[in-house]
Structure formats: C-alpha cells, structure tokens
Amino acid sequence: MDEDFANISLNLVAEDIRESKTNKIHGNRTSRVQQRKDAKNESEKERSNLSFTPKEDSAGRKRKLESDGGESVATDRSTSKKRKSDVVISSLFRKNPEIPVISSSEVDTVTENVFTGDAFKDLPIHPFLASNLEEKQGFTQLTEVQKRSIPILLQRKDALIKSQTGSGKTLAYAVPIVQSLQARKLKVRRDDGPYALVIVPTRELALQSYDTFQKLLKPFIWIVPGCLMGGEKRKAEKSRLRKGVNILVATPGRLMDHIKMTSVLHLARIQWLVIDEADRLLELGYERDISQIMNALKSQCPDPPQTVLLSATLSEGVERLSSITLNDPEHISVSDGNDIREQKSAHSVPHVTSPPGHVLEEKNDNNFAVPSQLKQFFIITPCKLRLVSLAAMVLWKCKYSKPASKVIVFISTQDSVHFHCKLFSEVLGKSRNIKEALKKLAFGEEEEEDVDVGDSDDDERYGNIRQPKKEEVKFYQLYGDMPQKERQKTFSDFTATTSGVLFCTDVAARGLDLPNVDWIIQFTSPGATVDYIHRVGRTARAGTKGHSLLFLMPSEAGYIQELNKHKISLTQMELSTVLQPLLANISDLPQPDDLNSKHQTPRTHEEAATFLQDRFEECILNDKEMHSLAGKGFQSFIRGYATYSKEAKEIFKVSDLHLGHVAKSFALREAPTNVHNVTAKSGSGQRKNKKDVRPSKRPLSFKQATLSEYSAGFQSNNKKIMAKPGGKRKPKTRKR
Ligand SMILES: Nc1ncnc2c1ncn2[C@@H]1O[C@H](COP(=O)(O)OP(=O)(O)OP(=O)(O)O)[C@@H](O)[C@H]1O
C-alpha cells in the first residue's frame, strides 16, 4: 500500500513537472513555435470556437482561452497575462494512452436453461397456489431451478442452491414455504409468531422478497408475512411483531437486534430458515450475526429448522456456512446439468461451534453462468474521456434511441454516484435545443411557448440538423447512506419507470429485480468476478434480453482476460461508436451558459465530445456546490481505487492513475490538492469489503468514510477490518 502512495505522489509530482514543462517554459523559442502550432491545431479546433470566447468566470472577470502547448489556459483578458491561478485546461484527445484492441477470444461459456416447459400445476402444491402463480402472476412455466428445488424442499430437505441471476430462486424457496404453511393441520394463526425466517443482505432485497410472499399469500390470508430491516423504526417493527408475523424477511443486523431486544419475538416455532445471497452476507461480514441467529434458533427451537442457502455464486465461505447450518443437504446447481449429490455434511443439527465437515466439491467452481440472452460489451476509454463517454452512452441509449432504454450505472463509491447523478441531471437533464435557446435569448423566457424549433435560419447556422424535441432523461441514485425513505422512493420510482438512468453503488448489485432494465453499465470495474456476475444479472432476467457495458481504462485492459478465465465472454465496443451519436444529435446537446458566446457546430465526434465536456466543466466552474461534489467524487474514486483486493490490484493499480486525467473525468480542471491525504487514509486500512464514502457537507473522517452502506441501520458491520490511519487495529464492539 505504501508503495502505492509513494507511486501516486510521484505520479502527481511527475504530472506537475509535465504540466509545467509543457505550459510554463516560454523562454525557449522552439516551445513558442510549438505553442502556436498546437494552439492552431488543437485548442482552436476543439475548443475556442465551440463555446468559450468570451466567458465570465465566477469572479465576474472576462476570460478567454488561449492555447498553450496544446493545452488551453484561461487567462485574465484585461491584462492578457497568465495569472498564477490560471487553470490549465487539458485537451480531451491529446496525451492519452493508446487504446488496445482486444480480439474476442473463444470462451466456452457456462450456460443454463431458464425455462422447463413444466407448469406449477404439475407440482404437488395447493391448486390455489398454482393458479395464483399461473393465472394471477402469469408464470406459465417453471424455471429450471424451481423445477429442481421445489420438490426437494417440499420433502423437507436442507439444500444449497446455485443458479444464474434472474432464474427465479425466490419462488424456488417461497413456494415450498407457503405450501407447507397453508397445509398445516392446525391452521397457522397470526399470533403463533414466525414459522419461517428469510435472511437477505440488503433492505431492497428484503422488501422485494416480502412482496413476493405477499403476492403468494393472497389465497391464504391467514398467513401473515412481515419485514424487518435497518433504517425502519424499531418501534413500528416491534408493534408489528407483537400483532404477529408468520413469515419474517429480515436483514441480519436488524433481526439480531430484535432477537436480543424484543421480547415478543420468539423463535420456538421456526421451521424454515432461508439464507439468500449467502455468499454476499458472508462477504459483508455478517457471519457472526448469522452464527448468533443460528444459536438463538438452536436454543429456542425444539427441532432444527429446514435450512436453505442460495446464490448465483457460491464461495468458499458458503461451504463453511453450509457445513455449520445444513443438515444432510441436497446440492442443486443448475449449470452442472445434474444436481450434485456427494459428500454429505457430518452434522445432523445446525450448530455453530461444529468444525466444518463438508466440502462442496463442485464442478465449475469459479465459472459462473450468465444468461445466454445477455450481450456483454466492454469499452476501453482513456481516463480523460470517461465522463463524456458515459454521458454519450446514456444519451445514445436513453434519448436518441427509440424506445428509450432503462439503464443502471454501477459506480464504486457513494460520493461518485451522487456527483454523477447531480451533474447529469444538471447538465443533461436540463438540456435545451440550440434553436430554442436562441429564441429564448431573443424573445425572453415568456416567449418560450411560441418558439418554432424548426426555424430554417437557425438550422443553417447550426449545421442544418433538425431534430424532434426529445424527452428529457430521468436520473435516479441509490446508495446505502441515503435516508431510508428516499432509498425506497428511488427503488419504487425506478421500478415503475420505463426509461431512465439509475446511478448506484453495489447496494443494488445483488438480488434486485428491477423490471425491464435494458443496459447495465459498470462505470467502475467491480474487481471480483462474482460482483461482475451479479451486477450484469440486473438485466436479462427470466429469459428477457439484456446488454451490459464494462468501462475500462487502457491500463485495466488485462481485466478482460481475467473474465475470460472465468468463462465470461465480452465484445469490445469502439469509443467512436459511443461518441458518434453525440455528433448525429448535436443540436440536442446542452448549450453554454453564455448564449452570446460564439459557436461553431462541431464537425467530428471528437469536437462533439469536447463540446459536451466543456458543458460539464462549465457547470463545475460556475456552481460551488457542484465543484465541491466533484472534489469529493474525485477523492472517493481514488480511495475506492486504492482498496481493490490484493488480486485485483495486479490490474487496478492506483499508481497507474494519472491524477490530472482523473480530475478531468470529474470535470475538474485541476486535481484537488488534498489527494495525498485521501490515499494515505485509504491505504492504512486494508479493506476486504466494498464501502463507500457517503455524500457529505464536511470532509469525512476515515471511520465515516468506511461505514458500510449495507449496514442494517446500525453502526458499520465492518469495524473489525477497519484500521485507524497510521494506527494499530483496535477491536471494537458493534453498536446497535
Ligand atoms: N416461473 C417463472 N416464469 C416467469 N418468470 C418468473 C418465474 N419465476 C420467477 N420469475 C420472475 O423472474 C424474475 C427473477 O426472479 P428472482 O428475483 O427470484 O431471480 P433470482 O434467481 O433470485 O435472481 P438473483 O440471483 O439476481 O437474485 C422475477 O421478476 C420473477 O418474478
């Protein structure tokens, strides 16, 4: 880690030297000639004609751009001298590393069938349950995992279930639970308390599973489902528990809290225990909570509950968990073609102190099935072009294409999610047609209604491009530290919308079933392959079509080979393919704040990209709040980058980052100066789990910065792996 900081410091120094060499040595005649040449070729071409002359800076001074060694420098117009505070504006398309072309290698992908042709009514379940599924919910066929799991679970066997994302694992456990509870001779009564416990890693997933049970229970209204999760009021949850809940869906932290603190919650009747996204729960450090829940069950239940563990990806940790939680389990792995029935657990009752006795000898251990109808792409874009490429992709898919797409963009940190959502809403969400904007300027705001956007004079001036007025793109954000109400609203709004963009952290990567998502964009790479699998799994669900796009920088190109090793096959998308639609829709791009400024229609996709980048930079320059968000986003990006796992660091090296270029990708004209502190802090605590920096008004302490967004609404569950900057690790007890 220290090496990383040293490297990043060197990088920064080298960057300063490079910049000063390029821009500040003017005594030399050759450099002046070069300066003029570059000025003509690059800056004039890319920038000065597009939007920036003249322009007022935030202090109200008239500024103009002068070219300097291929980089543009904003100077004080009145003196025509470069000021100390002048900002170097680097050109988007210069000094970038070469983009490698990676030919698609032959990858023998792992495939799974989704549907079986069998119907729910063929199962030994109540006819009302089958008709509810088929007629009310429209599920005419069983999925493969349902066909394999439901009969086994109906025989009251424990099971470890693995099948690809979106293959219907929720119903695979929910149907047997409902069937067994409705079939009880002594009818279930609400005040009996819980018969089934379902543990999931995130609040959204808890709500989603709860919703599934609500729908399934429509014909059996005497069975009551309930949900316990962080962020909700404990008091309200307690009163619900007092009234009685028979199927309890919960996040582990909050469940443990109630087991300890809520006397009305008793577990004596629990017959089912489901641990969904089991590997994720372990990854997030919930092993202790799960152990405590198991111990509570052991002490309260006369008979061990039937236990089911599920995920699209099962890790070594799950082997360990299965050994302590499952009794003589069935292993159901859809991609293997056959259920794996092999070494059985030595334990007859779940007991947390028992030594692991079972080894999951699974074929294709590290290879994961991806829905066959999912088309996976990657794009290699130089760091400076990341922001504008993402914007171009979003505009292309959500504005210029019909029908407009529904897109999820995964970004590693909360500050970065917040920044991108705000910036895109600000710049792209409010975009105005050139002609509209000019008319507005000529006639004033109130004339807006009368504007004829197809005015031919304007068409001539702006390249004769006529575009129909397009729908604005809707932007949403989701991350762990958002207030629960807001989080829920985003979730339901994005569920309901037919198009729009959701910026989110990995809090939305697992289990979420957001309908009709067309594209998954991974703007920051996940590092671990399992995370890649779960992120792309938010599209192409239950046999529907889907696409994914992974953003990589040239230095990260080796990640494609890594994915190939896990039998994941991707196709390269050209940068020009993404940028071209900007040019084709140039009149639809957002316009400069200063409508009096001179314009020339961009003629190439590079010019179009530069034009759009300028709008972003202008927004950051002119808006203090946005500037601060950009700074925080930048810092959190570096911090996130420094915390890839040891293995991933082979590819994602923080020392490969060019800070000036990273700044550009946050629309900043220079890198924030306190970056050393950021990296030093992130470096001192080797972190296994992904945690984000929440958007905040004040600079965050290290502790705040590493709070888990998955927390159940209490303190971080990850304190044990956090270290104080420069200090020794101090074991801490979790506050609830
Ligand atoms: N038999 C079926 N026929 C059609 N659609 C189904 C069927 N079973 C489930 N679905 C739908 O498929 C979608 C995915 O189901 P679910 O969320 O249970 O998948 P999953 O396997 O748990 O995915 P993940 O691994 O991502 O959590 C849901 O919208 C669900 O309603």
pLDDT digits (tens, 9 = 90+) for 447-497: 333 333 233 333 333 333 334 345 689 999 999 999 989 999 999 999 999
Give the pLDDT mean for 175-186: 97
Q: Does the residue 457 lie in any domain?
A: no
In this structure, the answer to whether residues 287 and 262 fall within a common structural domain is yes
Examine the fold and report which residue of 346, 365, 384 is the final residue of a domain before the chain moves on.
365
In this structure, the answer to whether residues 171 and 199 fall within a common structural domain is yes
Ligand 1 centroid to 327 CA: how many Å?
Answer: 26
In this structure, the answer to whether residues 328 and 407 fall within a common structural domain is no
In this structure, the answer to whether residues 323 and 178 fall within a common structural domain is yes
The set of residues, in sequence order, having a beta carbon less than 8 Å from that of 263 and lying 6+ positions away, is none
> Six-digit token pair at 641?
């980058």
Q: What is the pLDDT of residues 620-639, one digit of tens each?
A: 999 999 999 999 999 999 99
Ligand 1 centroid to 171 CA: how many Å?
Answer: 7
Bridge pairing between strands 62-68 and 71-76: antiparallel
Report the nearest atom of ligand 1 relative to the CA of 120: 1
Report the nearest atom of ligand 1 relative to the CA of 208: 17
Give the pLDDT mean for 377-391: 98
Residue burial 687-711, b: 16+ Cβ < 10 Å; e: rest: bebbbbbbbeeeebebeebbbbbbb
In this structure, the answer to whether residues 409 and 307 fall within a common structural domain is no
Over 90: is that where the pLDDT of 173 sits?
yes
Q: Does the residue 634 lie in any domain?
A: yes
Report the nearest atom of ligand 1 relative to the CA of 142: 1
Containing structural domain, residue 309: 145-365
Q: Under a CB-based contact definition with an 8 Å cutoff, are residues 589 and 615 in contact?
A: yes
Nearest CA owner, ligand 1 atom 14: 166
520 torsion bin: left (phi>0), alpha (psi -120 to 50), beta (else) = beta
Query: Where do the DSSP E strands lie in 216-298?
Result: 225-228, 247-250, 272-276
**CATH number, position 361:** 3.40.50.300
In this structure, the answer to whether residues 359 and 478 fall within a common structural domain is no
Measured distance CA(453)–CA(469) in Å, rounded: 8
In this structure, the answer to whether residues 174 and 296 fall within a common structural domain is yes
In this structure, the answer to whether residues 293 and 393 fall within a common structural domain is no
Which of 134, 171, 177, 408 has most ligand 1 atoms within 8 Å of its beta carbon, as the pocket-test mutant? 171
Nearest CA owner, ligand 1 atom 10: 168
Examine the fold and report which residue of 332, 365, 398 is the final residue of a domain before the chain moves on.
365
Give the pLDDT mean for 109-115: 87
DSSP sequence for 158-198:
-EEEE--TTS-HHHHHHHHHHHHHHT-SS---GGG--SEEE
Query: Where do the DSSP E strands lie in 343-393?
Result: 374-380
In this structure, the answer to whether residues 330 and 397 fall within a common structural domain is no
Q: Does the residue 223 lie in any domain?
A: yes
In this structure, the answer to whether residues 394 and 324 fall within a common structural domain is no
Ligand 1 proximity of 169 Cβ (cutoff 6 Å): yes
Ligand 1 centroid to 350 CA: how many Å?
Answer: 29
Q: Under a CB-based contact definition with an 8 Å cutoff, are residues 516 and 487 in contact?
A: no
Q: Under a CB-based contact definition with an 8 Å cutoff, are residues 209 and 249 in contact?
A: yes
Ligand 1 proximity of 513 Cβ (cutoff 6 Å): yes
Report the nearest atom of ligand 1 relative to the CA of 542: 12
Residue for token pair 């920036």:
52
Q: What is the pLDDT of residues 548-604, one digit of tens each?
A: 999 999 999 999 999 999 999 999 999 999 999 999 999 888 888 776 666 678 999
Give the pLDDT mean for 343-364: 30
Ligand 1 proximity of 212 Cβ (cutoff 6 Å): no
Q: Does the residue 55 lie in any domain?
A: no
* Interaxial angle between packed helices 624-641 and 675-684, expressed in degrees from 0 to 180 and rounded to the nearest 10: 40
Measured distance CA(555)–CA(119) in Å, rounded: 50
Structural domains in the chain (count):
3
Q: Does the residue 82 lie in any domain?
A: no
Q: Does the residue 275 lie in any domain?
A: yes
Q: Does the residue 206 lie in any domain?
A: yes
Ligand 1 proximity of 165 Cβ (cutoff 6 Å): yes
In this structure, the answer to whether residues 154 and 206 fall within a common structural domain is yes
Nearest CA owner, ligand 1 atom 27: 511
Q: What is the pLDDT of residue 596?
A: 66
Q: What is the pLDDT of residue 598?
A: 64
What is the chain's percent helix, strand, coil content, to nearest 5?
45, 10, 45
In this structure, the answer to whether residues 652 and 515 fall within a common structural domain is yes
Q: Does the residue 111 lie in any domain?
A: no
> Six-digit token pair at 452?
């004829």
Over 80: is that where the pLDDT of 187 sits?
yes
* Dihedral angle sign, alpha carbons of residues 715, 716, 721, 724: negative
Ligand 1 proximity of 166 Cβ (cutoff 6 Å): yes
Measured distance CA(13)–CA(198) in Å, rounded: 53
Least confident of 185-194, 284-293, 371-380: 284-293
Bridge partners of residue 571, in order along the sequence = 377
Ligand 1 centroid to 168 CA: how many Å?
Answer: 3
